[in-house]
Amino acid sequence: MRYTPELSLDDYNVSLQNGFLPHSPPLKVLANPYYWPWEHIVRDLPAHIQFRTIRQAVEELPVLATDQLQGEPEWRRAYLLLAYLTHAYIWGGETPKDVLPPAISAPFLEVSNHLELPPCATYAALNLWNYSIPHPNADLTNPDLLSVTASFTGTKDEEWFLMISVAMEAKGGQLIALMLDIIHAATLDDSSRVSDLLLQFSEGLKELRKLLERMYEHNRPPVFYHQLRPFLAGSKNMAAAGLPNGVFYDVGEGKGKWHQYSGGSNAQSSLIQTFDIFLGVEHTATGGMKSHGATQAKNGFMQEMRNYMPGPHRRFLEMLSHTSNVRAYALTHKADSPVRDAFNAAVMSLGVFRDSHIQIVTRYIILAAKSKPPTTDATQINLATSTTTHMKKKDGVSGGIHGTGGTDLIPFLRQTRDETKATASYVD
């Protein structure tokens, strides 16, 4: 390793082996019986949702204190459990619930504050801290070996959707050391090493894209869209879905506060934003509805999504923003030079990765919105239903389809992809 020796990845909860995944596999269950009321409901969550008993089960929960949680793994497990309970409670009926009871709100706010995360189902809860392996030496980059510890639907489709992301985090995490090496080589003006390592980085992004495209193997679009996606929805920009004010987090004794949060999103992956920062990609897309005459905030939605990352990971991105010099270094070299060519190749590899993401979104959301639910059971009146209705009022197929955080989905993804590719420079 040749990157700056004073940089300690441990300070950011980042691993050279696993990236932003935990150093050790997440807990499968909280060992303290005190917290088993949460565990028991989450264990049976698919059945509670199917038979419409989730809200009664949550409302019968005692208000548990957080002072018996010991160590970060237990705090993370508690966060996962409360995130799943929160979204199941809100979206697990014929209409959404806009008041979260104290048994969830009170501990969730405390756990979230400890982990520097918002109290909702973030990417960290759904993916980073929600996997299990069959043995300690299992390959985390192989989704066939991974399984979830919590599920809304109990389907293989949901598990595969989440575990593909976990495998990508593990595989992409192995590129972190490479990126830091490239930054250091640029600092030393070692141009041959920079170009060689950038080409290795491009190959790594190609491998990630292949892994992403395995999504089709076990995740059926109708199951994802109609059964899982509604529970990933947030409470921000959700007036059309039945939450005009967001959700009131009731902490008891007449106290509480209204909150509006985005739903789980891959934009909350620190890994993906690491690639952007490393290559000097800047995004202006806000991800929201177009506002005529309004000035787009620099980095918009992507910057906002950092608030949904664990605090140490967020600080890693901030550190990298001040450290990465790769694009600036590449631009000091002439067009068609090895460094410039290698940099442009890396940028285009990330752009092609985003092309694949758009294709997946088109298949799993845009086209799936027009499909019939996979079962005859009534589906919840929720985000999936509201976006389908909104879509039918539009002229284009992609018009009106919003992400789980309320983003104007396809236009946002296309702009993000185009901004990525525009980072490449072929002329002086």
**Annotated binding-site members for heme b:** 357
Lookup result for tokens 């919105």: 369
Evaluate whether 366 touches 399 at the Cβ level (below 8 Å): no
Contacts of 102 (CB under 8 A, 6+ apart): 63, 250, 251, 252
Cα separation, 52 vs 17, in Å, equals 42
Which residues is 258 bridged to in the sheet?
A: 248
Which H or E run includes 231? helix 229-232
Contacts for 406 with CB less than 8 Å, ≥ 6 apart? 234, 236, 237, 238, 262, 287, 288
> Measured at the alpha carbon of residue 33, what is the angle toward residues 30 and 36, in degrees to the nearest 5?
65
Distance CA 41, CA 31 (A): 15
Helix axis angle for 72-91 and 36-43, nearest 10°, is 50
Token digits for 235? 């409470």
CA distance 10 to 8: 5
Residues tagged in the binding site annotation? 357
Tell me the CB-side half-sphere exposure of residue 369, using CA atoms within 13 A: 24
Question: Which residue in the block uniquely carries the two structure tokens 């709100």?
Answer: 105
Is the CB of residue 164 less than 8 Å from the CB of residue 126?
no
DSSP state of 243: B
Q: What is the largest CA-CA distance in the chain?
A: 68
Q: Which residue, among 269, 273, 317, 247, has the nearest Cα to 162 in the 3D structure?
A: 269
Cα radius of gyration (the chain): 22
Query: DSSP 3-state assignment of 271?
Result: helix
Question: Judging by DSSP bridges, how do beta strands 255-259 and 247-252 pair with one another?
Answer: antiparallel
Helix (H, G, I), strand (E, B) or coil at 391: helix
